[in-house]
Structure 1
Amino acid sequence: MKTTRALALLATALFTSGLASTASTAAVAAGTGVRLTVAHGATPTAGTPHVAALHCPPGGATTHPDPVAACRLLDSVNGDLARLDVDPGVCTQEYDPYTVTASGTYRGRPLSFQQTYGNHCVLLRTTGAFFDF
């Protein structure tokens, strides 16, 4: 009981002193750094995966060909890549899988994603510029 009360008092003190706000600002300032892979196959290591680095805001370490669009897409889903659905148009039904991964941080929070798409068209319609490299 004393420990719970002490923690509550500490949290209140941090919030009222502005340190909690500083901590959340620091998480945003931590930025975004993500390693992306695209593999032609049903696993992330199929063939020779293409690899790109994405930093938001874009900087010198970014190797993604369209980092502005990719960062905009990432922000549009608040770092939850499973929510991407850029252009839900029609694709052929052929099965020619592509597997993508993303790992790193989004605004200071851990980010991890892996998904296999039925073919390249489905991949691009779902993820847009994010995995287009």
Structure 2
Amino acid sequence: MPRIAVLATLSTALSTALSAAVALGPAVPADASEAPRTSLRLTLTYPGHDASGTRSVTLRCDPAGGSHPRAAPACAELRRAGGRLVHDPDGRVCTAQYSPVVAQARGSWRGTPVSFRSQFGNDCVMHSRTGTVFGF
């Protein structure tokens, strides 16, 4: 076979292989660092108390971390709830004692901006509606 024909055949084969590789994309899964992250600043404020009545933590998910004391369960609850911070009461019995607490979240859930604020009658009611996310 003439040398030019061999080079042309090799060139065509290489071009076809490269085109297929580009079209199919990488064979390995995308790096987890490319996925939208969850990073939230969670704050609890107790109206009527001084500044010491405010607590704040950070919650990061995928992987779970931050200063939240129960980051892994909180991230799991958020995943199950599709990022919703408040759900129906969990069935626990709470007293009617009025000791308000304001729960706030700022940041992002899997790349979507989050700006949440809700006031509850007391800690028990808040935990009944927010689970471990505001459990700090």
AA in 1 matched with 2:113: P
What are structure 2's unaligned runs of at least 5 residues? 1-22, 25-30
Q: Which runs of 4+ in 1 moved over 2 A?
A: 45-48
- CA displacement at 1:38 relative to structure 2: 0.6
Q: 2:88 maps to which residue?
A: 85
Distance in 1, matches of 2:39 and 2:83, equals: 11
SS at match of 2:132: helix
AA in 2 matched with 1:127: T
- Corresponding residue pairs, total: 107
What are structure 1's unaligned runs of at least 5 residues? 1-16, 19-24
Q: Could you tell me whether the CA contact under 8 Å between 2:41 and 2:106 is conserved in 1?
A: yes
User: After superposition, where does 1:47-126 map in structure 2 within 5 Å?
Assistant: 48-56=53-61, 57-59=63-65, 62-82=66-86, 84-85=87-88, 87-126=90-129
- CA displacement at 1:103 relative to structure 2: 0.7
SS at match of 1:101: strand
- CA displacement at 1:111 relative to structure 2: 1.0
TM-score (norm 1): 0.69
Across the aligned residues of Structure 1 and Structure 2, the Cα RMSD in angstroms comes to 2.8
Sequence identity (%): 38
> 1:71-93, CA deviations, whole angstroms, 9 ceiling, x for partnerless residues?
011112211223x2362322111
Choose between structure 1 and 2: higher helix proportion: 1
- CA displacement at 1:47 relative to structure 2: 5.1
Distance in 1, matches of 2:89 and 2:72, equals: 15
AA in 2 matched with 1:49: T
- CA displacement at 1:46 relative to structure 2: 6.5
User: After superposition, where does 1:34-45 map in structure 2 within 5 Å?
Assistant: 34-41=40-47
TM-score (norm 2): 0.68
Distance in 1, matches of 2:79 and 2:89, equals: 13
